[in-house]
Amino acid sequence: MGKRNPSKNRFKSLITKTGKLLRDDNFMVGIHFVENAVSKILSVALIIVVGVSLFELTLILAKDLFTTEPVGFFNKTLIEIFGLFLNILIALELLENITAYLRKHIVQVELVVVTALIAVARKIIIFDPSKYAKNDLIALAFACFALAASYALIRFINQRDN
């Protein structure tokens, strides 16, 4: 009887284990694990971003209200302050998208479209005509219209299905 080759047995064992890992059900479990881990990391990072943004907004408001000589009500333009508020709102919407994904493991298109609509609306609100061409505003208006139409269509389909 011949001796068994231990390296050949290890190689066979490795091939067998790899084959088991690559079966559809095992592979999908691995993919699901990675998706959940990435979603949780993104959630924590987004919470940090929201916290820092909120802190920054609070500092700017406190500075403009209490420490600078009043030129108007705010030293920064009101539009810039609205932009900061909307940044936080967009981050919260992104967090809502991620948590909805973690709950149901599907991307909710309605939430994504609403988030995009808020982002485009923010751009329109803080739009500075002296910095950008008029065509940029027309493009933003078209994007806003397309997103609003998409949202209406999605809502109609969702209500019809329910």
Task: Write the pLDDT tens digit of every residue in 67-94.
Answer: 766 565 555 567 778 888 888 999 998 9
Q: What confidence score (pLDDT) does residue 42 get?
A: 92
For the chain, give the number of residues: 162
| Band of pLDDT at residue 64, cut at 50, 70 and 90 | confident
- Boundaries of every domain in the chain: 9-106, 108-162
Do 148 and 117 form a contact (C-beta atoms < 8 A)?
A: yes
Nearest to 126 by CA among 92, 84, 88: 84
| Band of pLDDT at residue 50, cut at 50, 70 and 90 | very high
* pTM as predicted: 0.69
104 pLDDT higher than 70: yes
